[in-house]
Amino acid sequence: MNAARLDLFANPVSRKLFGHLNGAGKVLTDSSLPHTTQELVKIRASQINGCGFCTDMHTKDATAAGETPTRLNLIAAWREATVFTDAERAALALTEEGTRLADSPTGVSDETWAAAAKHYDEDQLAALISLIAVINAYNRVNVIVRQPAGSYEPGMFG
C-alpha cells in the first residue's frame, strides 16, 4: 500500500484544521437532517470526487448503522434505482450539483433547490448544504495527498 504524500494525522496544521472540520461535522451529525441522508450525501460526493478514503469510511459507517448493501451499491446510480425516497433523491441531486459547481453556469439549479426545499425544513437545508461543503473539503484534502483507502474501521476516529 502506498503512503499518503503528507501524513495529515501527524502534521500540526492539518490536525488543527481537521479538529475544526470535525467540530463542524459534529454540528451536522447532531442536526435534524436524517443520519441515513447524511451518509448517502457523504458517499455520493466522495464517489464524484474520487475520494477512496472517504468512500471507504462512509460506506463502512453506513453499513455499521444498518444501511443495506442494495442501497449502498446503487448510490452512484440513484436516478435509476427504486430504493431511495423522494427526499433522499432530492438530497442526492443537490449533492451532485453542489459538488460539480463548475459544470453548470448557475451552480445549483432552481429545480434542484426547490426539490430539496420541498422535503427539508430550513434547519435541515442548512445542514445539508453545509454537509456538502464539509465532505467536499475532506475529499479534496484526501485526494490531493492520495490518502490510501481500505483500512478504515467504523468508529476509529471517535
Question: Are the beta carbons of 47 and 39 closer than 8 angstroms?
Answer: no
CA 149 to chain CA centroid, nearest Å? 16
DSSP string, 13-71: HHHHHHHHHHHHHHHHHTSSS-HHHHHHHHHHHHHHHT-HHHHHHHHHHHHHTT--HHH
Domains of the chain: which residue ranges? 12-145
Is the pLDDT score of 56 beyond 70?
yes
Question: Average pLDDT, stretch 27-33?
Answer: 97
d(CA 137, CA 115): 24
Mean residue pLDDT of the chain comes to: 95
Instruction: Name the percent of the chain lying above pLDDT 90.
Output: 92
**Taking 70 as the threshold, does the pLDDT of residue 81 lie above it?**
yes
Calpha distance 30→28 (Å, rounded): 5
> Residue 2 — pLDDT band, cuts 50, 70, 90?
confident
Q: Find the mean pLDDT for residues 56-60.
A: 97
Nearest 5°: the CA angle 28, 34, 35 is 70
First to last CA, the chain: 24
pLDDT tens, position by position, 86-115:
999 999 999 999 999 999 888 999 999 999
94, 116 in Cβ contact below 8 A? Answer: yes
What does the pLDDT look like over 39-50, one tens digit per residue? 999 999 999 999
State the Cα–Cα distance between residues 70 and 151, nearest whole angstrom. 22
Q: How confident is the model at residue 155 (pLDDT cuts 50, 70, 90)?
A: confident
What is the structure's pLDDT at 156?
84
pLDDT for 1 beyond 70? no
Q: Are 51 and 143 contacting, i.e. CB atoms less than 8 angstroms apart?
A: yes
Fold for 12-145, please state it.
Answer: AhpD-like (1.20.1290)
CA distance 50 to 86: 26
Q: Given this model, what pLDDT does residue 76 score?
A: 97
Q: In the predicted model, is pLDDT for residue 123 greater than 80? A: yes
pLDDT band at 157 (very low <50, low <70, confident <90, very high): confident
Instruction: Compute the half-sphere exposure of residue 152: CA atoms within 13 Å on the CB side of its CA.
Output: 21
